[in-house]
Chain A
Amino acid sequence: MNAIMKNTILLAALGIMATVLWGCKNDGFYYRDIPRIRMEAPYIWSLGTDSLEYSFLTSPISVTQYDMEITLHIMGEATAYDRTANITVDQSRTTATAQQYSLPTTITIPAGKYKATFNVTIQRTADLQTEGVRLGIRLLDSDDFSVGVIEQARMLLKWNDMMSRPTNWASLQEFFGDFSLVKYRFMINTTGVLEFSVDTMTWSQLTSYKMQLQTALAEYNAANPLNPLKDENNALVTF
């Protein structure tokens, strides 16, 4: 190959490289599709999944409902006017009764905003002590938004008020006697303590709880002379 041919090839290669490099200049990525909407639940309950779980057991007996805050995120640009998103109950995934929850059917995304929050209020009903319930919700297309990411277009809320025997009950038996669910719930409701442990509590503190519980049980039974506290096996609760 003679020198000219070589130079020509070299120049062409440089030109192609320059063209490629120029073409690689950073160009902003913009969502250019129609406005869409997706939803997220609080991480602490959902851990990044599309379902969340909540137990009323951790709440004092005075707490009868809980507001689960859910966030709607838009896909696309904010606008200078308010827009509306639609929510509905997915009955195929719902076992909760209408008395056990409440939620809005439309949510307003304010002008200039990229997100909005709304509450699903879940109720603490007595039957939750024996069985949990679930509520499925999903986004619907609205005049302002189409449903967005499929995985974030629906959510499953599960809640209960159930308890189980603590794994450390054997070490607590010295203080509180035989285990029963009714007794354990009475302990939690009376003391406000969710977890009893010989590893974190002194003998004196556990004995003090026992005294407190004996006194509370006596007061309960005195107030309910015809219906003293009995456990799930119909045995009188004692400490």
Chain B
Amino acid sequence: MKNIAKYLLVSVVAALCLAACSKDNGNYTYKDVAEFKIDTVGMGDDRFVIYSLTTATTVINYKPTVFYDKPLDKLEYAWVIHAHPYTGVKTGNTTVYPPADTICRTHSLNWTVDVKVGQYVIAMIATDPENGRTATYQFYTRVDDAGRKSGLYVLSEYDGKTDIDVYGSALALIIGGDHFTPKFYSSLHGGEMMEGKPRFISYGALSTKLNDNCYYVFTETDGVSLDPAGLKQIDRFDQMFYVPTTYNPQALKYTNNCNFLINDGKLHLFYANKTNDRKFSAPVSGNYNASTYLQAQTKNSTSTHINADQIIFDKIANGFRPYYPLGASLSQFKPTLPTAEIDANNMPGTVVKSLESNGGYTLNVMNISDAYWLYVLKFYARADEGDLSFGGPASKISLAGCKDIDKARFWASSNSGGAFFYATDKAVYSFSYTSGQTAQKDIWQCGAGEEITYLLQLGGGGFPTAGCVLWIAVWNESTKTGKLVEFEIDPTGGGVRWQWGAEPWVGASTHSNPHITEGFGKIKSMTILGI
């Protein structure tokens, strides 16, 4: 009897334990919670509004999309801003992070920029006051001085004088979306343009320590360096040199922490990462007459590779010569081996144009006994062992099939691909040495009364459209108006395409291809700071 009772008791306890292990659904009513998020997809060009701001600018009607299952006017909104990077301040034994500033409390941002120049994060916070749920979205932004405008700086002639127009395109993220400010320079200088017709514009750096950049602008009569903030003059040409220098600027490029200037066939320079007086040196020593060719990618970190800070083309030697870092004179490459496909020290025939392309390759359009060829050299990321050809017989490509290459006046290329672009007065073409093509590709043809005055291909760096934009400057002499024709192109094949411009990429869906902007003067040169 005792054993039965014992066994019954164990069984009851076991059953109760099993019952206790079964799922307890409680006594609540459950339902799915709606998604709560903030997004900017589909906002198109509006997304660029907040990425680059200037002091005293009023940002209005910037209204990201909020996804929620309640009326959006029932939510509470806050826009806050803090410095980037967000660093704490040691207070006593504690690190305290400064509270973010609230700049707006509506769904749509409405704010006049009143913070100092610098980098910031702006965050939008939407809160459901009934249940405390929040959704956030943050933006990185840069606040610059008023008068500093990011964009394609276009040097234009207006009635024999020079002005700077500033242009931006949604196709080129680096220059901040679609915008256009004609005569930007004169608008900052009481309506006064620069004297003389334009020669060219470029950019440089005065000090790497201070991240101190500048524009260099040269007209037919004078040259100046300009502060990007407000385009205030820094120096005139005669103040830019340690020794008196004849005025004949031909090319300028900033690379390897150094500003390189070709003036009157001589190379001048100053290093921005060395103590300097914002002045270019006396001519780099040597017997040479430099062409306008300057290269951006000239060296890498491999110790056995060519370590030049610059490569120039010497018209006296009809060959290329290196300038090694911090030197006082121009150097020579090693003597060319007899087996080399191309003698970089002494090019055969006339070098019509040298172009940098495809990650440090040097393309040379050659006229050899009235036949046009493309001779490809490589100085970047290789050792100098007596043969600077790109690669055997493939270093020489016939351009016999390229229409009007003998009439080409304007050229463009980039390190993003092997294509280069050339233009006569009336038409633009392309050719790529990596595509196997034997004839040009047609890109653009001018209309009646129009002429081409400049070409620029967006430089390398910056996903996704680096190298993928070609700008063609067009002038109509009869109407005295200029325009900018913008294509998305394939930097490898050289053809026109529409890939990155389409959604969901950069969102330049409002553009056609080409995208044409009117209202310029006679464009003679273009540059983008830092590219």
Shortest CB distance B40–A (Å): 46
Q: Out of B277, B284, B287, name the residue touching A205 (CB < 8 Å).
A: B277
> Which chain A residues border B285 with CB–CB below 8 Å?
211, 214-215, 218
Asked if A207 is at the interface (CB within 8 A of a chain B CB), the reply is yes
Q: How far is the CA of A215 from the CA of B283 in the complex (A)?
A: 8
Shortest CB distance B468–A (Å): 37
Asked if B475 is at the interface (CB within 8 A of a chain A CB), the reply is no
Are B329 and A214 neighbours in the complex by a CB distance under 8 Å? yes
> Which chain B residues border A169 with CB–CB below 8 Å?
none
Are A203 and B329 neighbours in the complex by a CB distance under 8 Å? no
> Which chain A residues border B329 with CB–CB below 8 Å?
211, 214
Q: How far is the CA of A239 from the CA of B271 in the complex (A)?
A: 20
Are B282 and A204 neighbours in the complex by a CB distance under 8 Å? no
Asked if A202 is at the interface (CB within 8 A of a chain B CB), the reply is yes
Asked if B275 is at the interface (CB within 8 A of a chain A CB), the reply is yes
Count chain B CB atoms within 10 A of each CB in A211, A212, A215, A239 and give the residue with the most. A211
Contact bitstring B305-333, A, C-beta under 8 A = 1, else 0: 00000000000000000000010110000
The contact sample of 13 A-B pairs, CB cut-off 8 A, is A204-B276, A205-B276, A205-B279, A207-B274, A207-B326, A208-B243, A208-B279, A208-B281, A208-B282, A212-B243, A214-B329, A218-B287, A239-B328
Shortest CB distance A189–B (Å): 15
> Which chain B residues border A205 with CB–CB below 8 Å?
242, 276-277, 279
> Which chain B residues border A211 with CB–CB below 8 Å?
281-285, 328-329
Q: How far is the CA of A218 from the CA of B286 in the complex (A)?
A: 8
> Which chain B residues border A214 with CB–CB below 8 Å?
285, 328-329
Asked if A210 is at the interface (CB within 8 A of a chain B CB), the reply is yes
Asked if B422 is at the interface (CB within 8 A of a chain A CB), the reply is no
Are A204 and B275 neighbours in the complex by a CB distance under 8 Å? yes
Q: How far is the CA of A209 from the CA of B285 in the complex (A)?
A: 11
Q: How far is the CA of A236 from the CA of B240 in the complex (A)?
A: 33
> Which chain B residues border A203 with CB–CB below 8 Å?
271, 274-276
| 8 Å CB interface, B268-312 against A | 270-271, 274-277, 279, 281-285, 287
Shortest CB distance A59–B (Å): 21
Q: How far is the CA of A211 from the CA of B286 in the complex (A)?
A: 9
Are B328 and A202 neighbours in the complex by a CB distance under 8 Å? no
Residue of A nearest to B272 (CB): A204
> Which chain A residues border B243 with CB–CB below 8 Å?
208, 212
Residues of A within 8 A of B (CB): 202-205, 207-212, 214-215, 218, 239
Shortest CB distance A68–B (Å): 33
Shortest CB distance A86–B (Å): 51
Residues of B within 8 A of A (CB): 242-243, 270-271, 274-277, 279, 281-285, 287, 326, 328-329
Q: How far is the CA of A205 from the CA of B326 in the complex (A)?
A: 12
> Which chain B residues border A215 with CB–CB below 8 Å?
282-283, 285
Are A202 and B274 neighbours in the complex by a CB distance under 8 Å? yes
Residue of A nearest to B285 (CB): A214
The 7 closest A-B pairs by CB, nearest first: A214-B285, A204-B276, A208-B281, A202-B275, A212-B282, A203-B274, A210-B328
Shortest CB distance B273–A (Å): 10
Q: How far is the CA of A211 from the CA of B242 in the complex (A)?
A: 11
Residue of A nearest to B275 (CB): A202
Q: How far is the CA of A85 from the CA of B210 in the complex (A)?
A: 68
Q: How far is the CA of A212 from the CA of B242 in the complex (A)?
A: 10
Q: How far is the CA of A83 from the CA of B287 in the complex (A)?
A: 65
Q: How far is the CA of A209 from the CA of B241 in the complex (A)?
A: 12
> Which chain B residues border A210 with CB–CB below 8 Å?
328
Shortest CB distance A90–B (Å): 47
Q: Out of B277, B282, B284, B326, name the residue touching A202 (CB < 8 Å).
A: B277
Count chain B CB atoms within 10 A of each CB in A202, A208, A214 and give the residue with the most. A208
Shortest CB distance A191–B (Å): 9
> Which chain A residues border B274 with CB–CB below 8 Å?
202-204, 207
Residue of A nearest to B326 (CB): A207
Q: How far is the CA of A207 from the CA of B271 in the complex (A)?
A: 10
Q: How far is the CA of A68 from the CA of B151 in the complex (A)?
A: 65
Count chain A CB atoms within 10 A of each CB in B281, B284, B328 and give the residue with the most. B328
Residue of A nearest to B276 (CB): A204
Q: Out of A204, A212, A218, name the residue touching B279 (CB < 8 Å).
A: A204
Q: How far is the CA of A218 from the CA of B328 in the complex (A)?
A: 13
> Which chain B residues border A212 with CB–CB below 8 Å?
243, 282
Residue of A nearest to B280 (CB): A208
Shortest CB distance B421–A (Å): 36
Are A204 and B281 neighbours in the complex by a CB distance under 8 Å? yes
Are A208 and B275 neighbours in the complex by a CB distance under 8 Å? no
Q: How far is the CA of A214 from the CA of B329 in the complex (A)?
A: 8
